[in-house]
Structure formats: C-alpha cells, structure tokens
Amino acid sequence: MLKFDFTNVFNEKIPNGISENDIENQKDVIYNSINQLKNNIPGFVEVVFNRKWINSVLNIKNFVKSYENLVVVGIGGSALGNIALQNSLRPINWNFLNKKERNGNLRIFVIDNVDPDYVSSILDLIDIKETLFNVISKSGSTAEAMANYLIVRGLLETHGLNPKNHLVFTTDPKKGVLRKIAETEKITTLEIPENVGGRFSVLTPVGLLSAMAAGIDIEAIYEGAKSAYNKTINEDIWNNPSALIALVHYLYYLKGRNISVMMAYSNKLYYLADWYRQLWAESLGKAYSKDNKKINVGQTPVKALGAVDQHSQIQLYNEGPDDKIITFLKTETFERNIKIPHSHIEKELSYLQGQTLSKLLNNELYGTEAALALNGKPSLRITFPKIDEFNVGQFIMYYELATAIAGDLFNVNPYDQPGVELGKKITYALMGRKGFEEYNVTPSNERKE
Ligand code: PA5
C-alpha cells in the first residue's frame, strides 16, 4: 500500500503557497469529477475489473514462453508503460541473467526510437530465431512503430523464418493496418480496448504481455490498480491521493508553478517518472478548453533521479525561480543492500563506514526534501513500502485518475493529443506519403534528407 505525504505542500514558508482552505474550496469541483469517474467509468479503469484482458495474454502464455527474448516494437504510450513495468518490477540487470536465473522467463527489450544506432544495438544482441516481436500500435499508423516493424519483418524473412511464428500484434480491435495484416496472415493478435488511449493503456494487453513474459505477477498489478480506484471513488478529499495530486498540482500551477518534477530516489522507480512525464504532458498540455476557448494550459513534467540529480538539478530547484512543485518517490525496501566497509581510519570517511547504501540514499532524499522546504519550495512524497506489483499497480491507477481529475480542473480533454498531429503529417509529407502533399514544408538545406 503506497503512502502519501503532503506536509510540505502546505508549508508556510512557501511564498504564495496554498492552504488547506484552498483544498476545501475546491471540494465541489473534485466531487463532481469523482462522480463522473464513478458513473461514467473510463476505459482505463474498466479493464482492471474485467478478466478478459488478463485472460487474453494468459491464452498465449505457452506460445510466448517458448522464446528466449521478447522485443516490444512501439512508441509513446505503446512503449513507456512496458519500460516502466520492466524496470520497476525486474532486477536492473534482468537481460544479463541466464534463463535459469530468470526462472525460464524471457529477456525483454523495447525498440521505440527510430535511431538506427539504437535499433541496431538491440537487434545485434538477440538471436532472431529465439525472439518473439510484440508490435504494439493502437492506430497502426505511427511512422516509428511501423518502420521498426518493417525492419523486424524484413529480418525475419532474410533469415528464412515464418513471420507468423515470431510476431504478436497488439492493436485496435477493428481499425488499422496491423489489424488488416493480422487478419490476412493469421498473425496472433491482442486487442487494445477501443476506449483506452495510448498513454492510459499500460494495464491493457499493451503492458500485460511483456510483463507476463518477464514473469511479473499481472494479477497483483490489477489488484493494486483496483484498490486505487476504489479508494479514489470512496474516500473524502483528504484521504484521496488521486484528488490531492490533481488539486495541489493545479492550485500551484495557478500560482505560477508550471513545472512538475518527479524525482525518484530509486533507479527502479525512475522509469515510472518517465511514464508519468508522457501522461501529464500529453493529457494536460492543451490549446483549447473543453468548451473550445483558446487557453494554452499545461504543466511541464520533468523527471529526475536522486541522488544523481542532486549534483545537477537541485541547485536550480532550491534557488531558481518559484515555478516548480516536486514529487519525491521513495522506497523503504530495496531488493538488495550493500554495507559500506571499514577500509580506512581517516575521520573524514568514518560517518559512512559500517552504514548501508539504502540508508545513505534515503537520507539524501530527506536532506533534499528538508532543504527545499526551508527554501520555501513545495514538495510531496510517495513511499513504496516495497517495489512490488501491487504498489506499482496502485501508482499507475492513482496517476491515471489524477490526470483525469486534473483534466476537469484545467478544463481540458485529457484523452486527445491534437498538438501531436501536425508534426506527424509534415513528417509523412517529407517522407513522400500520398495524400499528405499539402503539409509539405520545403526542407531547409540542413533538413534535407
Ligand atoms: O498517448 C497516446 O495516444 C500517444 O502517445 C500514442 O501512444 C503514441 O503516439 C503511439 O500511438 P500508437 O499506439 O497508435 O502507435
């Protein structure tokens, strides 16, 4: 069960800070929003109360487990959730372990970018005969995912392998080119529910297949997610993490804090911050309100890693402009621990010797948090008693719900992303795609490819 601490949000030292009264004053808006989530259950919530989605991946478990590697091919919401689940719930060196150490589970790779150096580096690492490729695209029209799919497919064909035996598509139940190819070629396919958009889709087969392949307990992720939803719709505002997350970020945004930093004091939790970055940015950064007024709102999410970024970002966070609200992610239990040995008699090192790295890291978090509070900067803290499936499931659902509630506060539709479309269309035009000629902006000399 995650623990939330909002004490430093209400710190009196914060210039132009928010008070508990400010929260009370927003109760009606919040309860309206929560009633919506109760009466008109969003697709991303529906999935965790329906066994259909878990069953759909369990049905192909034997097929999947006959491979050594699973490579996810997808981008944005079709990749970031997978990366977050793998990094938080598997050891950091997972792909370097042998099959026995992995309990027979698969190594997991994600190809999201179309950087040829990056793509080659993964393809060089795997034995293609022992690899299953999970091509994920809700629309089936994303250039990066499709380009990487074509590369993978070409590679399978060059190796004389039957693509059908090495591919699983995860896509829209009806629409898109992947669905069409799957039907023609009888390729194994998993559905992404029609009413769940990319960045909200990690708890659909999008994230479930690679998680199951790595031996992650997907049922426990669902249990965590369900408990977060139940808490959100039943609890009053002060015991309601989703509502409080949405509200404190919104209220501080109104006071000029237009940057939301998520700083994880755990390498394993860092990728949850990356997942959050997409969710918060793409859902809330909008030009138009729900009633179509030009408003240009949004809070820029930034990820940071403790203690590393104490030596990179913290100077700015402490002394720079009053434009940030910071969320710390902490774990009480690390998978491993290391004791710092007594190797020297020098007094300067004695405070470290005999201590553990986990104690040092968590005290660095407390030190940073206290310094920020003394400098009048707001922060909140989310504690994972342990980084396990239940707690990660809770985290995901709390944040998806917080984003939905924040959508109401900002008065924007959190489920669309019109601002991404124009760049995509211009890229299509530059790549010579038929039907997009009107978007052809003449490339400058530097841009010509
Ligand atoms: O949240 C979203 O909808 C987007 O970020 C998508 O996930 C991303 O653009 C990839 O889309 P698709 O799954 O259609 O390839």
For residues 428 and 418, the answer to whether their CB atoms sit within 8 Å is no
Least confident interval from 2-11, 16-25, 213-222, 422-431: 422-431
Indicate which atom in ligand 1 lies nearest the CA of residue 142: 15
Predicted local confidence at residue 421, as pLDDT: 86
- 51: pLDDT strictly greater than 60: yes
String of b and e for 185-196 (b: at least 16 CB within 10 Å)? eebbbbbbbeeb
Q: What is the mean pLDDT of residues 231-259?
A: 96
String of b and e for 253-280 (b: at least 16 CB within 10 Å)? bebebbbbbbbbbbebbbbbbbbbbbbb
- 24: pLDDT strictly greater than 60: yes
Who contacts 21 (Cβ-Cβ below 8 Å, separation ≥6)?
none
Q: What is the mean pLDDT of residues 413-429?
A: 92
Mean pLDDT of the chain: 96
- 446: pLDDT strictly greater than 90: no
Predicted local confidence at residue 444, as pLDDT: 59
Predicted local confidence at residue 448, as pLDDT: 53
- 445: pLDDT strictly greater than 70: no
- In the numeric block, which tokens belong to residue 49? 């109360």
Q: What is the mean pLDDT of residues 296-300?
A: 98
What spacing in Å lies between the alpha carbon of 78 and ligand 1's midpoint?
Answer: 6
Query: What confidence tens digit (pLDDT) does each residue in 193-235 have?
Result: 999 999 999 999 999 999 999 999 999 999 999 999 999 999 8
Give CA–CA dist 45/232, Å, rounded. 11
Give CA–CA dist 286/292, Å, rounded. 11
Query: What confidence tens digit (pLDDT) does each residue in 56-84 have?
Result: 999 999 999 999 999 999 999 999 999 99
Query: What confidence tens digit (pLDDT) does each residue in 161-183 have?
Result: 999 999 999 999 999 999 999 99
Ligand 1 pocket (Cβ < 6 Å) reads: 75-78, 137-139, 142, 145, 197-199, 282, 417
For residues 30 and 404, the answer to whether their CB atoms sit within 8 Å is no
Residues tagged active-site: 282, 311, 424
Residue type, 215: G
For residues 378 and 256, the answer to whether their CB atoms sit within 8 Å is no
Q: Distances from the Cα of 341 to the Cαs of 337, 338, 355, 356, 359, in angstroms?
A: 13, 9, 8, 9, 14
Mutate to test the pocket of ligand 1, among 83, 139, 192 (most ligand atoms within 8 A of CB): 139
What spacing in Å lies between the alpha carbon of 145 and ligand 1's midpoint?
Answer: 10
Query: What confidence tens digit (pLDDT) does each residue in 323-375 have?
Result: 999 999 999 999 999 999 998 888 899 999 999 999 999 999 999 999 999 99
307 preceded by a cis bond (ω within 30 of 0): yes
For residues 61 and 192, the answer to whether their CB atoms sit within 8 Å is no
Query: What confidence tens digit (pLDDT) does each residue in 374-386 have?
Result: 999 999 999 999 9
Which backbone phi and psi does 285 adopt, to 5 degrees?
Answer: -80, 95
What spacing in Å lies between the alpha carbon of 136 and ligand 1's midpoint?
Answer: 9
Altogether, the residues listed in the chain come to a count of: 449
> Which H helix or E strand runs over 201?
none
285 class by beta-carbon count within 10 Å (0-12 exposed, 13-18 middle, 19+ buried): middle
Predicted local confidence at residue 41, as pLDDT: 96
Which backbone phi and psi does 298 adopt, to 5 degrees?
Answer: 140, 150
> Which H helix or E strand runs over 69?
strand 69-73
Which backbone phi and psi does 169 adopt, to 5 degrees?
Answer: -100, 140
- 318: pLDDT strictly greater than 70: yes
Mutate to test the pocket of ligand 1, among 83, 142, 203, 274 (most ligand atoms within 8 A of CB): 142
Q: What is the mean pLDDT of residues 112-127?
A: 98
